[in-house]
Structure formats: C-alpha cells, structure tokens
Amino acid sequence: MLVQGERVAKLLAGSDNANVKDIVVEAVAQTGSTNADLMQRLPTLALPVLRVADCQSAGRGRAGRAWRTAPETSLTFSLAWRFERPLHALLGLPLAVGVALAEALQVLGVQAQLKWPNDVLRDGAKLAGVLIETAADGGAGQATWAVIGIGLNLGVPPDLEFELGRAIGAAPELQKQPRETVLAIITSALADVLVEFERYGFGAFIARWQAFHSYAGQPVKIIDNGRIVQEGIAAGVDVMGRFLIDTGAGQAAVLAGDVSLRLQEQAS
Ligand code: ATP
C-alpha cells in the first residue's frame, strides 16, 4: 500500500495539535470514492474520520464531474467532520478548506494559488480539487456533518492533459517526501481551519483567501451552462464566500452553485 494509515495516525497523535487528536485514520488500497464511502457511513460516525485511498475508481468533482487519479501520481482523501452549525453556516467552507490547503502546501514548499470556488492552482493549472458534501447530523441540535474530499496531484495522471486539453498542475517535489508526512501536515492545517471556521465563520478567512487569490484584479467571466452571466474585474470574496466582481454597473456577488469561473482570455 502507498499510504500506511498507522503511520499517519502516529504522526497526528504525536503532534502537539489538539485539533487532530480525535481523528480516526483509515487507509485503503482501492475504493470508488472516499467521499462516497464516508457519506454512506455518516449516521454511524462518532468521531472525525480521515480516509485515504491509493486508488479511486470513481473520484468526483462538483456536479458529478469526474476527478481523475492514478495511484502513483495522486493523493486522494476525505475527512468527515462534524460542525455544531446548521448547513447554511457552512457556505464558505470550500473556500476555507482552500486556505488550509494553500497554507499547508506553502509549509511544504509549494506555492499555490486559489481559484474560486474550490480549486487550488499552481502556475495557473489545477493542482488540487476540493469537493464537500454535507448531511444534517440528525440529532436534536443543529449540527451538520461535512465530508471534505481532496484530490492533490503529486504528478500528472497519465494522458490527463491530453484528454482535458489543458495543463494540469503537479507538485513532484512532494513525491520525494513520505506520503504520510504530506498527509499529516495537510490534515493538521485542515483541522485547525475547521475549528476556526466553526467558531468564527468564513469572515475570519477572507484576508487569508485573498492572499492566495489567483485572479485578483484580472478580467474574468462567470459561466452558467455555457452562457456568460457576469463579466468584470475579479475583486475578491465576501463573508459568505461569494465571488465579488466589479462590473460596469457596480459590484456583483456570485454564489458558487454550479457556475464556472474563467479568465476573460480563456475559451470555456
Ligand atoms: P472547472 O475546472 O471547469 O472550473 P470545477 O472547478 O467545477 O470546474 P471540479 O468539478 O471541482 O471542477 O473538478 C472536476 C474537473 O476537474 C473535471 O471536469 C476535469 O476538468 C478536471 N480534472 C479531473 N481530474 C483532474 C486532476 N487530477 N487534476 C486536475 N484537473 C482534473
């Protein structure tokens, strides 16, 4: 197996980060999707669970799009985490997770940028994707479980650039480090961000998100079902995690939904 779960668990237990001490670590050689696995088990989970798979045969992005992986080049995992918050309070969560990833990558020596709403770029190409799925806790309170799925390209999956017709971001320098170390560092950053997010919401992360904003000040367009629905200059994000665009008619705030963000010069 490429990732040893016990080694990740040991690294987390041995760290001085109290936010990771309850996380249960599971590593499997193969599964369809770590997000799907955890979503299925949500009603029975008592503690946060980190599930990592060497090989995912049905990795998913937003709106059922596929996230493609290959065991040698990808690090794919999901973290199930319970928030003492109702669903609507988690709107900015994908962006906060992006901050955790970008900051952890920085610690690992990889300079990444964030593309709203859920992508991590390197030199303008997609290095990592985030998919968050949620379910009400089902108890008496207003708690919500979130399953936070992350796919990180250490290398470029074979043929993917050709198939997608665009460059793919990768972090080959991380392939020289034990995967367990990379995963523990990312999980630790993630847990800290989730605890802070639960307490203060996305407002506490706006400045940190903007520090990594890949399209800041650039002409962009928002595309919905192949149609341009908004154009202007990328201004940043607000407290709800909406994307702010300066248009000729003032500032517009765009909710993630299933829209796509592109630079003006990009084709689709
Ligand atoms: P877009 O990239 O078009 O803005 P999105 O941000 O909604 O869409 P996601 O749904 O999060 O993207 O991710 C799925 C998309 O990412 C796929 O449609 C494919 O274009 C691309 N993709 C799939 N696998 C990888 C990978 N390993 N690395 C980079 N990009 C990938």
Alpha-carbon distance 131 to 35, whole Å? 8
pLDDT at 258 (0 to 100): 82
Residues 157 and 236 in one domain: no
pLDDT at 44 (0 to 100): 87
Domain boundary residue among 167, 192, 211?
211
pLDDT at 141 (0 to 100): 79
Residues 130 and 63 in one domain: yes
Which atom from ligand 1 is nearest to the alpha carbon of 168? 29
Residues 9 and 93 in one domain: yes
pLDDT at 266 (0 to 100): 83
pLDDT, tens digit, for every residue of 120-169?
Answer: 999 999 999 999 999 998 777 789 999 999 999 999 988 999 999 999 99
Which atom from ligand 1 is nearest to the alpha carbon of 61? 10
Mutation to probe ligand 1, out of 33, 72, 126, 259 (largest number of atoms < 8 A from CB): 126
Which atom from ligand 1 is nearest to the alpha carbon of 115? 6
Residues 74 and 180 in one domain: yes
Ligand 1: residues with CB < 6 A are 61-62, 65-69, 118-119, 126, 129, 151, 153, 157, 160, 164, 168, 260
Instruction: Tell whether the model's pLDDT for residue 268 goes beyond 70.
Output: no
- Tally DSSP H helices, then E strands, for the chain: 6, 12
Give me the chain's average pLDDT, please.
95
Residues 133 and 206 in one domain: yes
Alpha-carbon distance 86 to 184, whole Å? 28
Residues 116 and 36 in one domain: yes
Distance 17 CA to ligand 1 centre (A): 32
Are 38 and 78 contacting, i.e. CB atoms less than 8 angstroms apart? yes
Mutation to probe ligand 1, out of 67, 118, 266 (largest number of atoms < 8 A from CB): 67
Structural domain includes residue 141: yes
Max alpha carbon distance in the chain (Å)?
56
Residues 60 and 170 in one domain: yes
Residues 102 and 187 in one domain: yes
Residues 243 and 172 in one domain: no
List the domain range (segments joined by +) for residue 157: 5-211
Structural domain includes residue 268: no
| CATH code for position 112 | 3.30.930.10
Mutation to probe ligand 1, out of 35, 60, 68, 259 (largest number of atoms < 8 A from CB): 68
pLDDT at 137 (0 to 100): 87
Q: Stretch 10-33: mean pLDDT, rounded?
A: 97
Q: How confident is the model at residue 62 (pLDDT cuts 50, 70, 90)?
A: confident
pLDDT, tens digit, for every residue of 204-216?
Answer: 999 999 999 999 9
Rounded (5°) CA angle 111-3-113: 15
Residues 82 and 49 in one domain: yes
pLDDT at 251 (0 to 100): 97
Q: How confident is the model at residue 177 (pLDDT cuts 50, 70, 90)?
A: very high
Helix axes 179-200, 5-14, angle to 10 degrees: 50
Q: Stretch 35-41: mean pLDDT, rounded?
A: 97
pLDDT, tens digit, for every residue of 202-252?
Answer: 999 999 999 999 999 999 999 999 999 999 999 999 999 999 999 999 999
